[in-house]
Amino acid sequence: MYAALWRLFPGGRLAKTLQALLLFGVVVAILFIWVFPAVAPHLPFEDVTIEPTTGATS
């Protein structure tokens, strides 16, 4: 997949590297702005299965 992207980007090595970094940044931004907030309510972060203890046991 990465080799196919590398072949699709126009320009030399520096231009391709900058385009790949820009594409990576855009994908990360999309994930943090739209995808993760949309998925977070459906994840079981609030379902804790460990009971709290009341004091140390010896």
Delimit the domains of the chain by residue range: 2-38
Instruction: Return the pLDDT at 43.
Output: 86
Q: What pLDDT, on a 0 to 100 scale, did the predictor assign at position 55?
A: 64
Q: Which residues of 20-30 are buried (b: 16+ CB within 10 A; e: fewer)?
A: eeeeeeeeeee
Cα three-residue angle 16-20-26, rounded to 5 degrees: 145
Rounded Cα distance, 1 and 27, in Å: 15
Whether the predicted model's global pTM rises above the 0.95 cut = no
Mean pLDDT of 32-48: 88
